Amino acid sequence: MSFPPPRSWAPPATYRPRTIVYVLAAVSALVLLITVAVPIGIGVLLYRGDWPPTSEAAAGAPTAATGGANGAGDPYFPDYGSSGYDAASYSIAVDFDPQKQRLTGTTVVRARATQDLESFYLDLALPVTRVLVDDVEAEFEQQGFQDLEITPATPVRERQSFSVSVSYAGEPGELRREGVEDSPWRAGDDEWTVAGEPESSAWWYPANDHPSDPALVDVSVRVPTGYQAVSVGRLVSSDAGQETDHDTWHWRTSEPLPTYASFLAIGHYELKQGESGGRPFVYAASTRYSAEDRVRLFAALERTPALIAEIEAFAGPYPYSDIGGFVPATELWFAGLETATRPVYQASALLDDRFGEELLVHELAHMWFGDHVTLLQWNDIFTNEAFASWAYWEVVDRRGGKPADDELDDTYARTKDERGFWQVTMIDPGPTQLFGTVYVRGPMAVQALGNVLGDRAFGALVRTWAQGGGTRSLEDFMVTAQARTSTDLTPFFREWLFDPDAPEQTKANGFG
């Protein structure tokens, strides 16, 4: 990013921000809610110039009702995701050959059509060899980097549940997407990790690769004996195949997640398993780290249950059935990633005394803000990163440490004269600034909103939002916040989310 966000800590130069990233609510319902629950000003403010005027357009639906589009209608990433159906689950079975670094797989996608479909799309960059729709051979064509167009023998009808089986094989490490410098597929010293945001699933399984369509994930990975495979959810078994020279690692989630919150790692890892507070946990760290370093890494990961309990105090019950954490030795281009149930952490960041605790809280807070409550479009990133960053302020405040209001005042003082910082708005940061100032401007806005609403209303807002789940937009959040107060929040949101300059330091803008 062009403007590094000021922080209370000075991250090492190796830290780099991510360059990365339920049913869509009908706009008519949103308009009704605006009309009934909030002042007219908010309704005008909510209009975003690049917002499509109908829910079909927001979902990227084509004009013709007989074919899905090769995109979910996202203004920043037009070819991400697809339309015409809601994915329910992905059953992923892959075989990885470490010598050839070749991945072979078959994934079964279960979905429900939201319109008549003579054809539809999935996102997959690896070469496809066969496609079945409801166990019948289907025609297919791969287009661009990741668009897989599928034409079933018999059209899928609206509201029909259907399955798609895709067989594929290739070398993920050879994939190069134009304009994407940091590939989510990372290799190094007999170890491979695929994780990233806003995209990563296209490197290893076909999906509707957009956060507006979360789904369940079941992952089986066959590897030579001596290798381990780590993913999201619960470890069902580590030798499901019962072969003498290969092991099949089986992981399964019990709750849906956005595709970017899935990951796969293959290599040599030490795993620690058990149960804490009634939740199974799996922590894993690469054996490329020394035994002494792994002790330190596991000590950090094992803070997870206590930190989850601290977040539950204001966000409500943890939304997943499993907990964990994972530290690979492959070089990552992010300090941490909110892969559901089991965040991926960069070792040096996790062990940094200035940053490790904040990193843990941030990624774990994403289990609520980002993985459980998912984005409608990528320009809604505020609802993910602002709350995950603010969560650390709140945790420290509740411990009796630095008050969150002091964090707001100090951060504002450091940034108020930085013109470039404020020119990146929260309502429309742009695709190149998605993961920039939101980490700093975002938590300031959240804390300021809390001051305007008052502790009781703000606490109810945070908990209601975090527990609601499903796909939500920043506009949805503004409407939800307005419903908690009779004060017109239009000027507040204009200052903090829309205007490309620093808010005035006034009580109306959330300052003491």
Tens of pLDDT, residue by residue over 388-445, are 999 999 999 999 999 999 999 999 999 999 999 999 999 999 999 999 999 999 999 9
Other C-beta atoms closer than 10 Å to the C-beta of 239 total 12
Q: What is the mean pLDDT of the chain?
A: 89
- Residue 303: predicted pLDDT: 98
Helical residues (DSSP H) of 78-211, grouped into ranges: none
Question: Which pair of structure tokens corresponds to residue 185?
Answer: 């597929």
Position 166 pLDDT exceeds 50: yes
- Residue 182: predicted pLDDT: 84
| pLDDT: which is higher, 41 or 387 | 387
Position 186 pLDDT exceeds 70: yes
Is 3 in a helix, a strand, or coil? Answer: coil
Question: Which pair of structure tokens corresponds to residue 322?
Answer: 């499993």
- DSSP-assigned letter for residue 497: I
Mean pLDDT, rounded, for 374-398: 98
Range with the lowest mean pLDDT among 178-182, 240-244, 395-399, 412-416?
A: 240-244
Rg (CA), the chain: 22
Is 119 in a helix, a strand, or coil? Answer: strand
**Omega within 30 of 0 (cis) for the link into 198:** yes
Question: Which pair of structure tokens corresponds to residue 455?
Answer: 């502790």
Range with the lowest mean pLDDT among 53-62, 114-123, 131-140, 451-460?
A: 53-62
Mean pLDDT, rounded, for 367-391: 98
Using 50, 70 and 90 to split pLDDT, how confident is the model at 48? low
Q: CA angle at residue 120 from 117 to 122, to 5 degrees?
A: 150
Position 332 pLDDT exceeds 60: yes
Position 151 pLDDT exceeds 90: yes
- Residue 55: predicted pLDDT: 35
Using 50, 70 and 90 to split pLDDT, how confident is the model at 241? low
Residue 392 CA to residue 493 CA, distance in Å, equals 22
Q: Minimal CA–CA distance to 122: which of 82, 84, 161, 85?
A: 82
Say how many residues make up the chain.
512
Mean pLDDT, rounded, for 135-160: 97
Is 364 in a helix, a strand, or coil? Answer: helix
